[in-house]
Amino acid sequence: MLALSLASPCVVEHHTIPVINISTFSTGGDAERSRLGALWDTAMSSAGFAVITGHGVPLEVINKLYDAASQFFAYEHEQKMESCLNVGYGAGGYVPLGVEAVARSRPEGADSPADIVENLVFSYGGDPEREAVMPATPESLQPAVAAYWKHMLMTLDALMELSAVALHLPADYFKDDFRDPKNNLRLAHYPALMAHDAARSSGALRYGAHTDYTGFTILRQDPAANGLQAQMADGEWVGVPALADGLVINAGDLIQVWTNDRWRSPPHRVLNPPVGSAAPARLSLVFFTGPADGTTIEALPTCVDSETNPAKYAPISAREHLLGKLRASNTDTKQ
Ligand SMILES: O=C(O)CCC(=O)C(=O)O
Ligand SMILES: [Fe+2]
């Protein structure tokens, strides 16, 4: 089917990102669960991206985090830097503009400029005792992170069960590996851009082309400012719809390795709005997920066959894999 690009109205796209309503997965009978599983398998095998609706995360929970994060990013630079660990992206806390260059995580992007983004990152559910940094203000931030995280865990459980059904594995196949999952919440603020902003003419993107490193990413794309594009297997870049009631899901590298290339970890990027017109700020709520650190990632039993489809990757622990990616993607790689 042909569809007009969201990013550029002049470009005709040959692919589209599937939108899947998963509301009947938990309550439906076997036939309905298999139907959704088949849709999921097709989405992850082709685009590696889908937009889910009917996910059950209340809009109020999403909006509270969006509002609290917006308040944080509106603070003066000095105040935000009080939450910065100065160790690059990956350790938690505030990461100012100029530090992250995500495209450097791929060999073809080794010389990429820094992304036009600042981040606030959490790794432990917003628990002030465990987070490396939990900003004291705005006061609404900590409870908003904790509530959002709780709903992300429920969404993650549903996605892993849906994936098991899609791959013809027992529905609880991933339960043990996700009892103590390794998740991160990245609040990503792409500042408003002036019509002829210097960063834009230097070739920098809001977020350079990359793949995500671990399991599924659950992304709340700003409904007021799209810009996310996914790359299809034939090289075409396709706009990912920013639906107010949708969550964008994409498979990360560990999913591709785990499924022995049955599912794709697709490159994706956040384009700048066209030069010449001012662009509003954009705020993404990005929840990266993955199995427990010690999980060995090797071809799932339904994705490998010693004769017809041998394993393509050497086994690797989830932790080793993530550390390698993080080392490559900070502008100061010594950190
Ligand atoms: O902000 C977005 O839309 C995408 C962010 C992203 O790709 C990421 O955080 O890995
Ligand atoms: Fe990403």
Give DSSP secondary structure letters for 94-137. EE-TTSB-GGGGSGGGTTPPPPS-EEEEESSTT-TTTSS-----
Q: Give, in order, the Cα–Cα distances in Å from 32 to each of 21, 40, 164, 249, 250.
A: 12, 12, 14, 20, 22
Residue from 216, 270, 282, 329 to probe ligand 1 pocket by mutation (most atoms less than 8 Å from CB)? 270
Amino acid 329: pLDDT: 55
Instruction: Give the pTM.
Output: 0.93
Q: How far apart are CA 253 and CA 93, in angstroms?
A: 24
Q: In this structure, which residue's CA is closest to atom 9 in ligand 1?
A: 286
Contact criterion met (CB below 8 Å) for 190 and 116: yes
Geometric angle at alpha carbon 279, from 139 and 86, rounded to 5°: 50
Task: Say yes or no: CB of residue 182 within 6 Å of ligand 1.
Answer: no
Joined together, the tokens standing for residue 197 give: 């902003």
- Start-to-end CA distance of the chain, whole Å, equals 46
Contact criterion met (CB below 8 Å) for 291 and 174: yes
Residue from 286, 288, 289, 322 to probe ligand 1 pocket by mutation (most atoms less than 8 Å from CB)? 286
Phi, psi dihedral angles at 133 (to 5 degrees): -140, 130
Residues comprising the chain, all counted: 335
**Three-state secondary-structure class, residue 270:** strand
Q: Which amino acid is present at 54?
A: G
Contact criterion met (CB below 8 Å) for 129 and 88: no
Name which of 194, 129, 162, 147 is nearest 55 in CA terms. Answer: 162
CA dihedral 206, 4, 211, 142 (to 10 degrees): 60
Task: Say yes or no: CB of residue 232 within 6 Å of ligand 1.
Answer: no
Amino acid 334: pLDDT: 32
Task: Say yes or no: CB of residue 248 within 6 Å of ligand 1.
Answer: no
Phi, psi dihedral angles at 250 (to 5 degrees): -135, 150
Q: Give, in order, the Cα–Cα distances in Å from 30 to each of 73, 141, 157, 158, 165.
A: 46, 40, 18, 15, 10
State the distance from the centre of ligand 1 to the C-alpha of 75, rounded, in angstroms: 22
Amino acid 322: pLDDT: 82
Q: How many CA atoms lie within 13 A of 53 on its CB side?
A: 10
Task: Say yes or no: CB of residue 121 within 6 Å of ligand 1.
Answer: no
Contact criterion met (CB below 8 Å) for 218 and 152: yes
Residue from 100, 205, 228 to probe ligand 1 pocket by mutation (most atoms less than 8 Å from CB)? 228
Residues 6+ apart with CB under 8 A from 244: 59, 223
Contact criterion met (CB below 8 Å) for 5 and 13: yes
Amino acid 155: pLDDT: 98
Amino acid 106: pLDDT: 87
Q: What is the largest CA-CA distance in the chain?
A: 60
Among the bound ligands, name the one nearest to the CA of residue 89: 1
Q: Give, in order, the Cα–Cα distances in Å from 78 to each of 83, 96, 179.
A: 9, 10, 39
What is the ipTM for the molecules in this complex? 0.99
Q: Which amino acid is present at 234?
A: D
The b/e string for 246-273 (b: 16+ C-beta within 10 A; e otherwise) is bbbbbbbbbbbbbbbebbbbbbbbbbbb
Q: What is the mean pLDDT of each run of 10 residues along the chain (335 residues)?
A: 46 84 95 98 98 98 98 98 87 92 87 93 96 96 98 98 98 97 97 79 88 96 93 96 96 96 98 84 97 96 96 93 70 39
